[in-house]
Amino acid sequence: MLGFIKTLIERTPLGLLQLKHDRMRLLVAIAGITFADVLIFMQLGFAAALYKTNTQYPRTLKADLVIIGTQAKNFGKLRTFPRRRLYQALDVPGVASADALYIQSVDWRNPQTRKKTSMLLVGQNPDRPSFNLPEVNQQLDAIRMPDTVLFDRASRGKYQDIITRVQQGERVTTEIGRRTVTVAGLFKVGASFSDDGALITSDQNFLRLFPKRDAGAVSLGLIRLHPGSDPDRVRAAVAARLPDDVQVLTNRGYIDFEMAEIKATSPIGFVFGLGTTMGFIVGIVIVYQVLSTDVNSHLAEYATFKAMGYRNAYLLGVIFEEALILSILGFIPGLAIALGAYQLTATATALPIAMPFGRGVIVLLLTFVMCGASGAIATRRLQAADPADIFS
């Protein structure tokens, strides 16, 4: 091993020297790889933000089991089911409580700009917390008051003045439909691709805001079990007890349902996946053009090496050395640009887009594969080159 490392260190870095020989070609290659990496980073970032925003409320549900309608799509597009299903679930041994959650998108008037925008309105039972959100659970008494809501301060849009006023204890009012509502408090979750933010209120306030909504038609059922109960066993018992117009899922199972539904039906997810693939292909094409040009430009020198007794493996190693160097030189500025773009996007859209360590590793590996594949394609002519043909 030590001998191999010593040989590697003492070896003439032909790949690096060839890249440095034509600096303009090197800069073009780095720019191409950087572009491909930034494109991949952005597509992966948007896809992750899509999955996170569409599951950010399901992940905070304070329930052991979740009941949804069979036609439910996702948290923002739930289909209602009869509330009596919750009462029927209470008859199953192990079930301690069953609460209804009302969910619907609503147009509200931004108190600061007076412009209408789409918000997700959630109505919950104020007697029992529906979410593992301490800020919300500490203000449940506030939403008992008529026409009172809690506002997500991470919503997309201009709300800085309103947030400051609420934090100072001022009374802030606005309109939802034909009713005037009061913002009684704040919490923080974040915007989504479909809604600019969210409002949480009591189930009674929700029904006041939607007078045509039947109180017996609920969006989501939250079931809590007695301590020591087996969630999977109780889930099976509840599912057997209820008609087939609902689905009964464990907490983890409901999150998996949301993720699977988004991946299967959301065109946005497909678009981001296609964008990632196209970025990868663009990178391969760019690096191939650079390496192929390099091979053609130095074909006589490579033939001389072959005539001197150097094997194809050594010459291929030179090309792959160039590919490795290009991948590293292109990845570093690509990562830096992506970090800046993530910050800019998060500020402008209020989407939870960030750079986890694992994504950087994945894109780096993809860059290695991208450049390695390009090098493998570019060396095909080199392997077939015959010194006698070149110098004849």
Q: Rounded to the nearest 5°, which phi and psi values hold at 386?
A: -115, 120
The per-residue pLDDT for 384 is 58
Per-residue pLDDT of the chain (392 residues; tens, 9 = 90+): 444 344 444 555 666 666 666 778 788 888 888 998 999 999 899 888 888 887 889 999 999 999 999 888 878 778 899 999 999 999 999 999 999 999 998 999 998 888 888 899 999 999 999 999 999 999 999 999 999 999 999 898 889 998 999 999 888 999 998 889 999 999 999 888 778 889 999 999 999 998 888 889 999 999 999 999 999 999 999 999 999 899 999 999 999 888 887 777 667 777 777 888 888 888 888 888 877 777 777 666 666 666 666 666 666 777 777 788 888 888 999 999 999 999 998 888 878 888 999 999 999 998 888 888 887 777 776 665 565 555 55
Q: What torsion do the CA atoms of 47, 53, 59, 61 make, to the nearest 10 degrees?
A: -160
Compute the residue count for the chain. Answer: 392
The full DSSP string for 189-216 is ----SS-S-EEEEEHHHHHHH-TTS-TT
Provide the whole-model pTM: 0.76
The per-residue pLDDT for 389 is 52
> What number of other Cβ atoms are within 10 A of residue 79's Cβ?
14
Distance CA 258, CA 58 (A): 8
Cβ–Cβ < 8 Å for 257, 249: yes
Over the range 306-317, which residues count as b (16 or more CB within 10 Å of their CB) and which as e? beeeeeeeebbb
